[in-house]
C-alpha cells in the first residue's frame, strides 16, 4: 500500500496566481520522505495568493488531493473559541480576570482561583483529560472513535486528577471545554452556534464546520491515516471527544480568511487583540497568548495556531506584514518534523532558502 503511494506522481495543483515563495518542493519532500500522504497549502501576501496540494487523496485508489479540500483543524478550534470569549469580554458579559466560579459555580475545582484569562492561555493548571488512556483523538481508538461524549463527562475525567505542583506551563484541552461551557452560559446558546453566528457567517466561511457528533468529513477531502503499522483509514470519527478544544473542520482558504480578519482587528477590539497577543513562556517552542501561538522565525514573529487530530495536522500562520501560510498535512508513517514545517514557514515569511 505504501509502495503504491510512493510510486504515484506527486502532483501540485495551482489554484491562483503565483506567490513569492515556491513551497511545492518542500511539500513534495515531506511526502516522498514518508512524512505525509497529502499536503495542502495556501500562501498569501498583500496582492498574491497561491494554493496547491501534493500527494494522493486515497492511498489505495489514488487521485489528486484538492487544494480546496476539507480537513480536521484540531486545536485551531481553540482560536475560534477564544475569539468568541473575547467578543463577550468586549460586550462586558465577562472579564478576563473574572474567576470561572463567578460564571460556572461549582463546576471547576478551585474555580474561585482560576480566571478566564488563565483558561485561555493554559495557565490554569487543570489536568488534561486527553492524557488519560482512550481519551485522546490523536491516538487510534478502534470502534470507540465513533462514541459520543458530553462536555461534563470529559470534565469528570479531568477533575479526577491533579497536575503536580511543578510551576510549569501545561497545555490542557480541559481549559477549552470549560470555555465552551462558559460561552453557552453567557449566551444561552450552544458554543458552535455562537461560532457560526459571530465568525463563520459574518466572514462568509462557508466551508468551515462545527460537526458535533457527525463522523464524516465533507467532500472533497484527502483521507487521514494512522500507522498501526500499515496505514489504517482514520478519516471518519466522532469528534465530540474534542468538542470546543478541537472538533472543527475547515479549508486553507477559510482559515486564512479567519486569521487575517482576527489579527487585522476585524473581530475583536484593539484592547482584546492586544491581550490575545500577550504571551506566556511555554518551553514548547512557542509563546502562548489567549488561544493564539507566537512562533519566532529568523525574520520575526508569526502568529496563529497549530492543530492535531488523528490523520490530520494543521498550521495557520500570519505575520504582521500581512503574509500568511496555512498548511494541512495528512501524516504517513511518521509525523513531519518541526524542522520540515518551520522550514516551509521560514521560506514564506523570511524568504529563506531551504
CA 277 vs CA 86, 167, 330: distances in Å: 12, 22, 29
Q: Which position among 75, 250, 319, 332 bears the catalytic label? A: 75
DSSP H helix total and E strand total for the chain:
11, 11
Average pLDDT of the residues in 57-75: 97
Rounded to 10 degrees, what is the CA torsion of 288, 328, 184, 148?
-120
pLDDT of 10 reads: 33
Average pLDDT of the residues in 11-26: 59
Confidence grade of residue 76 (pLDDT, cut at 50, 70, 90): very high
Q: 292 near 274, Cβ under 8 Å?
A: no
Q: What is the DSSP letter of 53?
A: E
The owner of cell 504517513 is 332
Say how far apart CA 320 and CA 237 lie, in whole Å.
36
Q: 39 near 329, Cβ under 8 Å?
A: yes
Of residues 267 and 13, more confidence is placed in 267
Does the pLDDT value for residue 353 go beyond 80?
Answer: no
pLDDT tens digit sequence for 306-331: 999 999 999 999 999 999 999 999 99
Does the pLDDT value for residue 304 go beyond 80?
Answer: yes
Does the pLDDT value for residue 354 go beyond 60?
Answer: no
Confidence grade of residue 352 (pLDDT, cut at 50, 70, 90): low
Find the distance separating the first CA and the last CA of the chain, reported in whole Å.
30
Average pLDDT of the residues in 247-253: 98
Average pLDDT of the residues in 128-140: 96
pLDDT of 229 reads: 85
Q: 219 an active-site residue?
A: no
How many CB atoms within 10 Å of residue 204?
Answer: 10
Say how far apart CA 195 and CA 178 lie, in whole Å.
16
pLDDT tens digit sequence for 80-102: 999 999 999 999 999 999 999 99
**Where do the domains of the chain lie, and which CATH numbers do they carry?**
2-350 (3.40.710.10)
User: Does the bond joining 252 to the residue before it have cis omega, within 30 degrees of 0?
Assistant: no
Say how far apart CA 163 and CA 226 lie, in whole Å.
29
pLDDT tens digit sequence for 163-184: 998 999 999 999 999 999 999 9
Phi, psi of 49 (to 5 degrees): -140, 135
pLDDT of 47 reads: 81
Say how far apart CA 136 and CA 271 lie, in whole Å.
35
Does the pLDDT value for residue 46 go beyond 80?
Answer: no
Amino acid at each position: 500500500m505504501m509502495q503504491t503511494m510512493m510510486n504515484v506522481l506527486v502532483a501540485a495543483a495551482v489554484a491562483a496566481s503565483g506567490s513569492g515563495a515556491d513551497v511545492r518542493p518542500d511539500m513534495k519532500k515531506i511526502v516522498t520522505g514518508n512524512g505525509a500522504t497529502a499536503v495542502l497549502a495556501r500562501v498569501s501576501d498583500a496582492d498574491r495568493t497561491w494554493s496547491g496540494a501534493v500527494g494522493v487523496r486515497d492511498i489505495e485508489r489514488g487521485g489528486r488531493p484538492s487544494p480546496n479540500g476539507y480537513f480536521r483543524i484540531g486545536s485551531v478550534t481553540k482560536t475560534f473559541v477564544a475569539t468568541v470569549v473575547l467578543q463577550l469580554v468586549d460586550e462586558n458579559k465577562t472579564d478576563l480576570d473574572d474567576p470561572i466560579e463567578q460564571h460556572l459555580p461549582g463546576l471547576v475545582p478551585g474555580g474561585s482561583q482560576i480566571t478566564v484569562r488563565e483558561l485561555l492561555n493554559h495557565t490554569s493548571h487543570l489536568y488534561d483529560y486527553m492524557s488519560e488512556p482512550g481519551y485522546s483523538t490523536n491516538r487510534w481508538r478502534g470502534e470507540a472513535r465513533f462514541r459520543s461524549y458530553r462536555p461534563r463527562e470529559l470534565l469528570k475525567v479531568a477533575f479526577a486528577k491533579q497536575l503536580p505542583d511543578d510551576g510549569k506551563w501545561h497545555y490542557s484541552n480541559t481549559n477549552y471545554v470549560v470555555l465552551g461551557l462558559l460561552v453557552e452560559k453567557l449566551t444561552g446558546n450552544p458554543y458552535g452556534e455562537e461560532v457560526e453566528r459571530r465568525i463563520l457567517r459574518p466572514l462568509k466561511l462557508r466551508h468551515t464546520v462545527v460537526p458535533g457528533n457527525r463522523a464524516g468529513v465533507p467532500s472533497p477531502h484527502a483521507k487521514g491515516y494512522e500507522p498501526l503499522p500499515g496505514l489504517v483509514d482514520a478519516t471518519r470519527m466522532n469528534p465530540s471527544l474534542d468538542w470546543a478544544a478541537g472538533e472543527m473542520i475547515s479549508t486553507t482558504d477559510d482559515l486564512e480568511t479567519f486569521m487575517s480578519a482576527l489579527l487585522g482587528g476585524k473581530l475583536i477590539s484593539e484592547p482584546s487583540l492586544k491581550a490575545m497577543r500577550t504571551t506566556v513562556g511555554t518551553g514548547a517552542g512557542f509563546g502562548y497568548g489567549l488561544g493564539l501561538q507566537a512562533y519566532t522565525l529568523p525574520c520575526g514573529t508569526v502568529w496563529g495556531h497549530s492543530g492535531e487530530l488523528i490523520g490530520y495536522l494543521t498550521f495557520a500562520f500570519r505575520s504582521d506584514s500581512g503574509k500568511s501560510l496555512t498548511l494541512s498535512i495528512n501524516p504517513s508513517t511518521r509525523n513531519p518534523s518541526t524542522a520540515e514545517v518551520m522550514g516551509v514557514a521560514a521560506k514564506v515569511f523570511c524568504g529563506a532558502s531551504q
